[in-house]
Amino acid sequence: MRQFKYIIMLAFIGIGIGSFFSLLSITLNQAIFSLTQFALLMTMSAIMGILSIIFDYDKFSFMTQLVLHFVLEMLTYLIFIALTFGKTSIALTNIPTFVIIYLAIFLYMRQQGHDNARRINEQLANKKHS
């Protein structure tokens, strides 16, 4: 049950991030999405969030996890954008934007991980000295 809750949490994180960038894209491009397009984009975002579970498997090195995650995210992006807009050219022309967004999210999450590890280590050090 805990694993199921974790997967649901990852899906909602993905939807949150996807919603933000979709809304930003809609605003900047003054686009209008149909309900079907919106549903596909949110499904893509949920799947992309769930793909983060790759980082929980310790059998792979971090670099393998990162490359695998990036490739799966890119494939998900290409498939769903092609389904959403009916053109693969839209997905292909937006690859640089995808890479920039991926890097921004990666760097943020990496920094969060370092901050969490630092806080945990400080708490452990305080308990050890107490």
Residues 6+ apart with CB under 8 A from 98: 74, 77
The pLDDT confidence band at residue 31, using thresholds 50, 70 and 90, is confident
pTM of the full structure: 0.79
Structure tokens at 1: 């049950």
At residue 8, the pLDDT reads 94
pLDDT of 15 reads 92
Mean pLDDT lowest for which of 13-17, 26-30, 92-96? 26-30
Rounded mean pLDDT of the chain?
Answer: 86
Q: Which residue has the tokens 């959403």?
A: 84
Nearest to 100 by CA among 74, 81, 82: 74
Q: With CA atoms as reference, report the closest residue to 67 among 18, 113, 108, 102.
A: 102
